Amino acid sequence: MYMRMAMREARAAGEAGEVPVGAIIIHPEIGLVGKAHNQVETLRDATAHAEILAITQAAAAIGDWRLAECTLYVTKEPCPMCAGALVFSRVKRVVWGVTDNLRGGQTRFGILDSPHMHHRVECAGGRLEEACREDFVAFFQNVRENKITKPGNHTR
């Protein structure tokens, strides 16, 4: 259920010409406290990843930057920047769809459960992985076919 909510956010990103990543944050007592999709191109901000935007919303909703009871659901494994933000915001658990063996913050760099960090985040990858992967493949196939030079640039 929660990963499907994140997938809806990812599709909104893709429709806006953004890399289709969606994220939601669930607090066990409050419920949904943050939801976002990539907006790097829209906001012209390299840090406007779905996870970062969802963390900001969740912190505002809870009234605390510490998200120690929260779980983040995201359609693609967090990058190193987002993994670091998840550690520093003390998110309890991260559940992702597509694993990123080349640039994943956990799979490649081990940031989320590093013994060198002050907090360790529980990880669960591969949730609805095939469905999440299909959205990525379709998006980038469209980018190649339409010769879009970068996401968000709809000119040929």
Q: What CA–CA distance (Å, rounded) separates 55 from 142?
A: 30
Q: Are 36 and 57 a contacting pair, CB within 8 Å?
A: yes
Question: Would you mind telling me the total number of residues written for the chain in this entry?
Answer: 156
Other CB atoms closer than 10 Å to residue 126's CB: what's the count? 13
**For 74-89, what is the HEC assignment?**
EEECCCHHHHHHHHHC
* Of the candidates 139, 100, 137, 95, the residue with the CA atom closest to the CA atom of residue 3: 95
The answer to whether residue 9 is catalytic is no
- Of the listed 9, 18, 51, 77, which one is catalytic? 51
Q: Return the active site residues.
A: 51
